[in-house]
Structure 1
Amino acid sequence: MQRLIPTGDPARPAEFSRDAQPVPAADEALIRVQAFAPNRGETFLLEEPRPGLIPGKDVAGLVVQAAADGSGPSIGTRVVGHPAMGGWAEYVAVPTHSLAVLPDEISAVQAAALPLAGITALRLLRTAGAVTGQRVLLTGASGGVGHYLTELAAAAGAELTAVTATPARGERLRGLGAATIVHDVADARGPFDVVLESTGGADLPVALAKLAAGGTLIWFGQASRTPVTLDFFDFFAGPEAAVIRHFHYVGAPYGHDLATLVRLVASGRLHPEIGRVADWSQAAEVLVDLRERRIRGKAVLTTGTAR
């Protein structure tokens, strides 16, 4: 079968290679991949790939071999999955606890845009707690996670201020429910009960200073790729009893969260923001554009069998 592997070349980060079809473990189903979505964080790993790196965590496709232990979907079932790796290929083995069945009304392209970004958004909101009536600040809002967070938080009753680079992206976020759009975190008018911070660098201390007393900043990304410097004397002199929490979405099983995302999309309550769809022969170009933030929302690559 064919798969994409890292090259170490920033101009062409991935190329096709021949590989054996994976042999699933007893609790894994073999999926014929129809569409997959690279994530911007994966593009950073491609810059200096570690030996043995086989990217690919967001896939949608068809079960061609059911799990030997009897768990999970049967042969011929359309699914979305979140494997630990290996999804940029014609076939991938996925634990059945990290799969969800797709209804006919959701395409493989839509589904592939869901896993990492959607699961991250769901779990971030659970970490934030009840946000109904809360003032929430979201930085880096125009990425895949940001779109899902905006729509989910607004639906939950939050008064959301979204930070995004351009007016066009801001208008899209406003359409998803953001109450206020700003293009620089310094322009956000606090105080905020919750800050969801994904850019790091110089933005995090500015966002932190906008917390209300007893508020929480949840740090879930480093999109700026710039180290953060915090003056804790300023923090201690700032919002009383404020909290900084680090967040990472990882923690299988993922199937329940995937099923929740599928249900929300199918009912029209969540709308994947897909900025680019291309055949996987164009993977190198798409990966560069994703890394350089030239794609709004998610990018999805198809293997020629997507519908």
Structure 2
Amino acid sequence: MRALVVDHSAAAHLSLVEVADPKPAPGEALVRVEAVSLNYGEVKGAADPKTPDGTVIGWDAAGVVVNAAADGSGPAEGVRVVTLGGAGWAELRAVPATLLGVVPDDADLGAVSTVPVAGLSALHVVRRLGPLLGRRMMVTGASGGVGRYAVQLAARAGAEVVAISRNPDQADGLRALGAHEVHTDPAAVDRPVHAVLDNVGGRQLVDAFAALQAHGVLVSVGRSSESNAVFPPEALQGDEGRHDRSIRTFFLLRNPATDFSADLAWLAAEVATGRLDPGIRWRGPWTRYDEAVQALIGRRLHGKAVLDVG
């Protein structure tokens, strides 16, 4: 089969080459991949000198089951699925039943391929924050993959969403997704928030934490700024208006035994019916992977990039 593999001699640190087909374990289905979506973290990982040449990467992929799992778990042959894993940028991938969700027959597999990392991360953080009805929630990096899903899901949960995007051109689009306020910096927010989903880290994390009200929580999901979060001493002062605030870390695959199948199927159905907008900003055949990678690395994409395989 063909796959995109790490190649540090190439400009995008990737090459499209022939590799051996995967050999599914008894609890894994073999999926023919039809579309993949790119995440900034995995693209950066491909450029890391520590990642060996020849490594097949890729977390998000959607396609069709060509061989059902031998142990009887998961969907049958011919079923369309969205999958999460570690080697998705290939014509075939082996996936355990817990990391794939059934996709509606009429769904655009390219749109659905954006769901695994971005959609699941947003969904699980919004759930972790508890009841949001009537409460203010901030989302930093709101125009990115996780951010866009978080804005929509939080708004549907009844939150008053405060979206942060460094690009002011994103304001109208974020309001259309459900944001009540849009700012370019958390420091510009003049009313406290109950919760924060932070995708940026660095100074934005510090300023977002300062916006938390008493008993508020900030969940750190991403660190796209790649800069340190340095807190002045007064930032941690627990006075009357800022008592008992907390910062929590998040890692989607914190428990390898987690069954994401139902959540993946639900998110895929929401995207397929148009109730969730995946925010695809670049799409093309996977032979043009270098264009998509350069757009992500250059921070020219505010949303998702999708490659159609085959």
Q: TM-score range by the shorter chain?
A: over 0.9
8 Å Cα contact 1:13-1:288 kept in structure 2: no
Identify if the C-alpha distance between structure 1 residues 188 and 10 changes in structure 2 by more than 3 Å, giving closer, same or farther: farther
Identify if the C-alpha distance between structure 1 residues 132 and 77 changes in structure 2 by more than 3 Å, giving closer, same or farther: same
Identify if the C-alpha distance between structure 1 residues 291 and 116 changes in structure 2 by more than 3 Å, giving closer, same or farther: same
What's the counterpart of residue 63 of structure 1? 65
Identify if the C-alpha distance between structure 1 residues 108 and 267 changes in structure 2 by more than 3 Å, giving closer, same or farther: closer
Letter in 2 for 1:197: D
Alpha-carbon distance, 1:290 to partner: 1.0
Is 1:32 aligned to 2:38, yes or no?
no
* Deviation sequence 1:107-147 (CA, Å, 0-9, x none): 11111111110000100101111111111111110000111
8 Å Cα contact 1:190-1:211 kept in structure 2: no
8 Å Cα contact 2:138-2:193 kept in structure 1: yes
Spell out the pairing of 1:92-111 with structure 2 (5 A cutoff).
Answer: 92-111=93-112
For the residue of structure 2 that corresponds to 1:125, the secondary structure is helix
What's the counterpart of residue 249 of structure 1? 252
Give the structure-1-normalised TM-score. 0.94
Q: Separation in 1 of the partners of 2:157 and 2:9?
A: 43
* Deviation sequence 1:72-122 (CA, Å, 0-9, x none): 111111111112x11101111011121111112211111111111000010
Alpha-carbon distance, 1:297 to partner: 0.9
What's the counterpart of residue 161 of structure 1? 162
Q: Separation in 1 of the partners of 2:222 and 2:289?
A: 24
Q: Which runs of 5+ in 2 are unaligned?
A: none
For the residue of structure 2 that corresponds to 1:37, the secondary structure is strand
Q: Separation in 1 of the partners of 2:64 and 2:87?
A: 16
Alpha-carbon distance, 1:190 to partner: 2.3
Alpha-carbon distance, 1:269 to partner: 2.2
What's the counterpart of residue 3 of structure 2? 3
Q: Separation in 2 of the partners of 1:204 and 1:25?
A: 41
Give the number of aligned pairs.
303
8 Å Cα contact 1:10-1:288 kept in structure 2: no
Identify if the C-alpha distance between structure 1 residues 205 and 174 changes in structure 2 by more than 3 Å, giving closer, same or farther: same
Q: Separation in 2 of the partners of 1:234 and 1:121?
A: 26
Letter in 2 for 1:216: V
What's the counterpart of residue 192 of structure 1? 193
Q: Which of 73, 76, 98 is the aligned partner of 2:75?
A: 73
Q: Separation in 2 of the partners of 1:102 and 1:203?
A: 36
What's the counterpart of residue 42 of structure 2? 42
Q: Separation in 2 of the partners of 1:208 and 1:86?
A: 35
What's the counterpart of residue 217 of structure 2? 216
Alpha-carbon distance, 1:263 to partner: 2.8
Q: Separation in 2 of the partners of 1:77 and 1:232?
A: 55
Is 1:12 aligned to 2:12, yes or no?
yes
What's the counterpart of residue 124 of structure 1? 125
Q: Separation in 2 of the partners of 1:128 and 1:292?
A: 32
Alpha-carbon distance, 1:218 to partner: 1.2
For the residue of structure 2 that corresponds to 1:300, the secondary structure is strand
Q: Separation in 2 of the partners of 1:233 and 1:54?
A: 46
Q: Separation in 1 of the partners of 2:137 and 2:9?
A: 39
Letter in 1 for 2:266: T
Q: Separation in 1 of the partners of 2:176 and 2:3?
A: 37
* Deviation sequence 1:248-303 (CA, Å, 0-9, x none): 22243221210120232244321211111111111122112112221121100011
How well do the aligned residues superpose, as a CA RMSD in angstroms? 1.5
The 10-residue stretch of structure 1 (52-61 or 119-128) with the greater mean CA deviation from structure 2: 52-61
For the residue of structure 2 that corresponds to 1:270, the secondary structure is coil
Is 1:282 aligned to 2:288, yes or no?
yes
The 10-residue stretch of structure 1 (163-172 or 151-160) with the greater mean CA deviation from structure 2: 163-172
What's the counterpart of residue 263 of structure 1? 269
Q: Which runs of 5+ in 1 are unaligned?
A: none
What's the counterpart of residue 182 of structure 1? 183
For the residue of structure 1 that corresponds to 2:4, the secondary structure is strand
What's the counterpart of residue 303 of structure 2? 297
Q: Separation in 2 of the partners of 1:104 and 1:169?
A: 32
What's the counterpart of residue 114 of structure 1? 115
Alpha-carbon distance, 1:234 to partner: 2.8
8 Å Cα contact 1:32-1:63 kept in structure 2: yes
8 Å Cα contact 2:6-2:51 kept in structure 1: no
Alpha-carbon distance, 1:10 to partner: 7.5
Give the structure-2-normalised TM-score. 0.93
